């Protein structure tokens, strides 16, 4: 299916783009940002998945955390956005990030939404994990896919969105300068400093890369995937340094093991006779190795059909969770998609206005240093 043509300008909200955002962490992030007052652009390789996700996002209730109010290119820095609309402002399109034409269409769609072409946040969440086994046995075709999707596409999309992010940064700088001038005039007239830190935070644009705890702790039999996630940490560091002078922040998130349907074979307790002796994988094949399940579902739970789920009765203490699946996690429980999304929303929002170049692990205490 060919990507659609870009729409005419339709919003004055800040625009956020989230790739691979029709399920799991991506959809939870889209819901968070839409509730915060962004117009959110979602995407997936499947048109049916895009349609289903749009329908879900447009069906209240959505989380509405008050601390996520944002500034935008059309909103003076230091002022909160108006209350989010009763129905979230979202749009979506088919996008295979490995396809140059699809990447171009995604940029065109997002930059056409506002009359000034500004984009406030880009969350790069798409990933692939096509190979399972020793790193030295990873075939060339799998390496090609790993680098094309996990690294190359992320780097090229980030670069493609820089001009639109720079529009937001320029508007933020102009608004900050105007606020500073107004504060200086008020001081001269009244002798009072007034204003405080007007213009700090609120609308600095942001790039956010979704990495994995595998960037810091290589995942057994998922070596190639882990290498690409380490590469994303390098992208964060390099781009943060390059783009800071242009007013664009760049950060990353490294999720740990997240509760999703596609990863449930890693953690879910199976009833007796369910193919895994009550503890493991699926069907007549018997128990699947946890790492094979991680390969199929994505260790950090991106390729899922369960977008936002509650924490239940304590995550790892739930009866449906195999103890061995969480015993290596200091917090002894799985993460939830919305817990990752909450950190992403913080990093792209005004609360993280002095953060750039960081990859934040959200992994229940699992080691997260190179």
Read off the tokens for 120: 């406030």
Phi/psi for 79 (5° steps) reads -110, 145
Q: Which of 38, 132, 225, 354 is catalytic?
A: 225
CA-closest candidate to residue 25, choices 307, 270, 327, 238: 307
**225 counts as catalytic:** yes
- Which residues, including other chains, have CB under 8 Å from residue 168's CB and lie 6 or more apart? 14, 72, 73, 118, 119, 120, 203, 204, 205
Instruction: Taking each helix axis as running N to C, give the angle between helix 24-36 and helix 47-57, from 0 to 180 degrees, rounded to the nearest 10.
Output: 40
List residues bridging with 335 in a β-sheet.
258
Phi/psi for 128 (5° steps) reads -135, 155
Cis peptide before 61 (omega within 30 of 0): yes
**SS3 of residue 103 by DSSP:** helix
Catalytically annotated residues: 225
């Amino acid at each position: 299916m060919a990507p659609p043509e870009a729409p005419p300008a339709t919003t004055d909200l800040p625009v956020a783009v989230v790739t691979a955002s029709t399920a799991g962490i991506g959809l939870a992030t889209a819901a968070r940002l839409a509730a915060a007052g962004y117009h959110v652009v979602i995407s997936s390789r499947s048109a049916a998945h895009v349609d289903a996700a749009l329908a879900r996002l447009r069906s209240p209730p959505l989380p509405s955390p008050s601390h996520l109010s944002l500034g935008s290119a059309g909103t003076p820095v230091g002022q909160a956005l108006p209350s989010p609309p009763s129905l979230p402002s979202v749009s979506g399109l088919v996008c295979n990030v490995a396809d140059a034409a699809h990447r171009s269409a995604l940029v065109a769609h997002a930059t056409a939404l506002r009359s000034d072409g500004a984009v406030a946040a880009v969350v790069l969440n798409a990933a692939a994990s096509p190979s399972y086994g020793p790193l030295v046995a990873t075939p060339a075709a799998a390496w090609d896919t790993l680098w094309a999707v996990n690294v190359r596409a992320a780097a090229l999309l980030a670069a493609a969105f820089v001009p639109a992010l720079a529009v937001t940064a320029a508007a933020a700088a102009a608004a900050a300068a105007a606020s500073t001038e107004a504060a200086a005039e008020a001081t001269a007239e009244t002798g009072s400093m007034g204003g405080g830190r007007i213009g700090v935070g609120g609308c600095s644009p942001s790039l956010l890369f979704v990495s994995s705890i595998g960037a810091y702790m290589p995942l057994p039999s998922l070596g190639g995937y882990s290498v690409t996630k380490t590469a994303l940490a390098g992208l964060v560091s390099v781009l943060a340094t390059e783009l800071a002078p242009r007013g664009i922040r760049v950060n990353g998130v490294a999720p740990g093991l997240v509760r999703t349907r596609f990863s449930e074979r890693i953690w879910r307790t199976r009833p007796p006779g369910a193919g895994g002796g009550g503890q493991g994988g699926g069907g007549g094949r018997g128990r699947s190795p946890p790492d094979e399940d991680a390969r199929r579902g994505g260790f950090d739970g991106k390729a899922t059909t369960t977008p936002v789920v509650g924490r239940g009765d304590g995550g790892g203490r739930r009866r449906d969770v195999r103890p061995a699946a969480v015993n290596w996690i200091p917090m002894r429980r799985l993460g939830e998609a919305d817990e990752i999304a909450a950190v992403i929303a913080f990093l792209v929002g005004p609360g993280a206005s002095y953060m750039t170049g960081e990859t934040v692990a959200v992994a229940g205490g699992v080691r997260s240093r190179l």
